[in-house]
Amino acid sequence: MNVTISVGMCSYEVGLGKENFFKAADDSLYQAKRNGKNQTIIAETSKKEPV
CB-based contacts of 49, cutoff 8 Å, min separation 6: none
* More confident call, 19 vs 50: 19
pLDDT (0 to 100) of residue 51: 45
Report pTM: 0.76
The average confidence (pLDDT) of the chain is: 88
Is the pLDDT assigned to residue 48 strictly greater than 80? no
CA 2 from chain center: how many Å?
24
Overall residue count recorded for the chain in this entry: 51
Please say whether the beta carbons of 47 and 13 come within 8 A: yes
Backbone angles phi, psi at 22, to 5 degrees: -70, -35
Q: What is the mean pLDDT of residues 9-35?
A: 93
